[in-house]
């Protein structure tokens, strides 16, 4: 008995396999290594929702990220990362990796600083 697959199904499996191979090194490097983590929620998450995720998992908020759906938090309790996922986090990353993605930059919705608003000399 032979098993046959539709060409579209084989292509989809091949693309998924390549994506997995390409993402695995990133996921290994991005895995949290300490008590401090970057918590990433869905794109529609607000900062209060992210704070609830961290609080629900028993963590402490350290600072906000570049977007409302990113927050840097800490907990020394075992199982913290799993609790973050259970509370609704999409990703839990090493904060160094999140910094490379812009998580420590000022949020886009903040007004520019006074210096940035100053008009250049004529």
Residue 79 reports pLDDT greater than 50: yes
Ordered by start, the domain boundaries in the chain are 32-107
pLDDT band (50, 70, 90) for residue 65: confident
Q: What's the whole-number average pLDDT of the chain?
A: 74
Level-2 CATH architecture, domain 32-107: 2-Layer Sandwich (3.30)
Residue 68: the pLDDT is 85
Residue 27: the pLDDT is 59
pLDDT band (50, 70, 90) for residue 116: very low
What burial class does residue 61 get, using C-beta atoms within 10 Å of its C-beta: 0-12 exposed, 13-18 middle, 19+ buried?
Answer: middle
Residue 20: the pLDDT is 62
């Amino acid at each position: 008995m032979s098993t046959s697959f539709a060409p579209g199904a084989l292509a989809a499996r091949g693309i998924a396999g390549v994506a997995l191979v390409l993402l695995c090194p990133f996921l290994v490097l991005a895995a949290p290594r300490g008590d401090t983590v970057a918590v990433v929620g869905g794109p529609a998450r607000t900062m209060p929702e992210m704070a609830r995720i961290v609080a629900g998992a028993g963590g402490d908020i350290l600072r906000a990220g570049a977007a409302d759906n990113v927050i840097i938090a800490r907990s020394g309790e075992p199982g913290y990362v799993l609790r973050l996922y259970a509370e609704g986090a999409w990703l839990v990353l090493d904060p160094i990796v999140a910094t490379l993605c812009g998580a420590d930059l000022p949020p886009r919705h903040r007004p520019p600083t006074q210096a940035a608003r100053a008009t250049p000399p004529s």
